[in-house]
Amino acid sequence: PDRDRLIACLPKCELHIHIEGSLEPEMVFSLARRNNIPLPWDSVEALRRAYAFGSLQDFLDVYYVGMSVLVTEQDFYDLAFAYLRRAHADNVVHVEMFFDPQGHTSRGIAFDTVVNGLHRACVEASESFGIRASLIMCFLRHLDEADAQRTLDAALAHRDRIVGVGLDSSEKGHPPEKFAHVFGRARDAGFQLFAHAGEEGPPDYVWQALDVLGVRRVDHGNRALEDAALISRLARDRVPLTVCPLSNLRLRVVPDLAHHPLRHMLEKDLTVTVNSDDPAYFGGYVNDNFSAIARALDLSPAEIVTLARTSFSAAMMSDDERAAAL
Ligand code: ES4
Ligand code: ZN
């Protein structure tokens, strides 16, 4: 339909993508073969059948096994380059890419191996087809703060190649305040700050992300709508929310997309963007997310244009870079 043609031709930024979540089942199997890594599934089809998730934790259990096939610098390069090429095909011009170093260092992969491969893909994709891409490392919130502190120590040697730190993985029971000290250190070291909050966790976790961690943007933020004072705060400070419709559907954060809170977020003047989260696992890249939510909520062309434009205001970009991109 016309709506999908509009979506396809709009320039966009992708601000919520876990690069390990762009690992397609075929690549899981080809890298497993290349690196001699055993898998609990005997075919691509069996792996796809495992993508029936009842919750965030169900997904994470598969996600951490999937990423275990990533071993060499070339693996990380191949993963990120394939994603950036795919994003470019969706008219994504700027990417702020999450990665999970602890998902790799915990398996004995060196921090440098991960960053070297991902960074080289960002540089070469930019040279090859002009996409801009930067790296944000996330702390796994189910691990303790001391583990995050050691991860930050390792990142300091790559300060010029990692623009920010975020917080992801199992949300419930792991409030942002658990990471207050390490986020303080990251801020002092000059990193931009982000956190997943209000995906499954309560509005209080969104407050903590803002007031304890001091994040510049909230990833998901769906449950902020349960708290009127929080909505006012997010609107007043124009805190962007990086919303991921197909992720919310597949992880049962919403029963169906017709009940997705994005329409209410727009009505309340929140700064909302549309993103893919873990596209290989959730059934679509960024344009698929735009199409699915636009159709379910019957978004107008003007609303679709607003969502794409907002991705630029929510991005880490100078005004000059923004003007050049638009
Ligand atoms: C994630 Cl959807 C989601 N939520 C929290 N942590 C994550 N890591 C990768 N995808
Ligand atoms: Zn996410």
The verdict on whether residue 16 carries a ligand-binding annotation is yes
Q: What is the rounded distance in angstroms from the CA atom of residue 33 to the CA atom of residue 318?
A: 43
Give the model's pLDDT for residue 325: 80
Give the model's pLDDT for residue 324: 84
Which among 2, 7, 15, 5 has a CA at the least distance from the CA of 304? 7
| Pocket lining: 219 vs ligand 1, CB cutoff 6 Å | no
AA letter at 68: S
Instruction: Identify which of 99, 278, 289 to mutate to test ligand 1's pocket (most ligand atoms within 8 A of the CB).
Output: 278
The verdict on whether residue 196 carries a ligand-binding annotation is yes
Q: Looking at this predicted complex, what is its ipTM?
A: 0.98
Give the model's pLDDT for residue 326: 78
Q: How many CB atoms lie within 10 A of CB 130?
A: 9
pLDDT along the chain (326 residues), means of 10: 96 98 98 97 96 97 98 98 98 98 98 98 98 98 98 98 98 98 98 98 98 98 98 98 98 97 97 98 98 98 98 94 84
Atom of ligand 1 nearest to the CA of 20: 9
Domains annotated for the chain, with CATH where assigned, are 2-325 (3.20.20.140)
The verdict on whether residue 18 carries a ligand-binding annotation is yes
Give the model's pLDDT for residue 79: 98
| Pocket lining: 16 vs ligand 1, CB cutoff 6 Å | no
Could you give the angle at the alpha carbon of 251 between the alpha carbons of 249 and 254, nearest 5°? 45
Both tokens assigned to 32: 């497993």
Atom of ligand 1 nearest to the CA of 282: 2
- Residues near 299 by Cβ (< 8 Å), separated by ≥ 6? 3, 263, 293, 307
Protein residue whose Cα sits closest to atom 4 of ligand 1 = 169
Atom of ligand 1 nearest to the CA of 169: 6
- Residues near 231 by Cβ (< 8 Å), separated by ≥ 6? 224, 225, 268, 270
From the CA of 323, how far away is ligand 1's center (Å)?
31
From the CA of 320, how far away is ligand 1's center (Å)?
32
The overall pTM is greater than 0.90: yes
Give the model's pLDDT for residue 308: 98
Give the model's pLDDT for residue 323: 86
Q: What is the rounded distance in angstroms from the CA atom of residue 133 to the CA atom of residue 125?
A: 8
Give the model's pLDDT for residue 240: 98
SS (H, E, C) the chain: CHHHHHHHHCCEEEEEEEHHHHCCHHHHHHHHHHHCCCCCCCCHHHHHHCCCCCCHHHHHHHHHHHHHHCCCHHHHHHHHHHHHHHHHHCCEEEEEEEECCHHHHCCCCCHHHHHHHHHHHHHHHHHHHCCEEEEEEEEECCCCHHHHHHHHHHHHCCCCCCCEEEEECCCCCCCHHHHHHHHHHHHHCCCEEEEEECCCCCHHHHHHHHHHHCCCEEEECHHHHHCHHHHHHHHHCCCEEEECHHHHHHCCCCCCHHHCCHHHHHHCCCEEEECCECHHHHCCCHHHHHHHHHHHCCCCHHHHHHHHHHHHHCCCCCHHHHHHHC
Q: What is the rounded distance in angstroms from the CA atom of residue 199 to the CA atom of residue 203?
A: 9
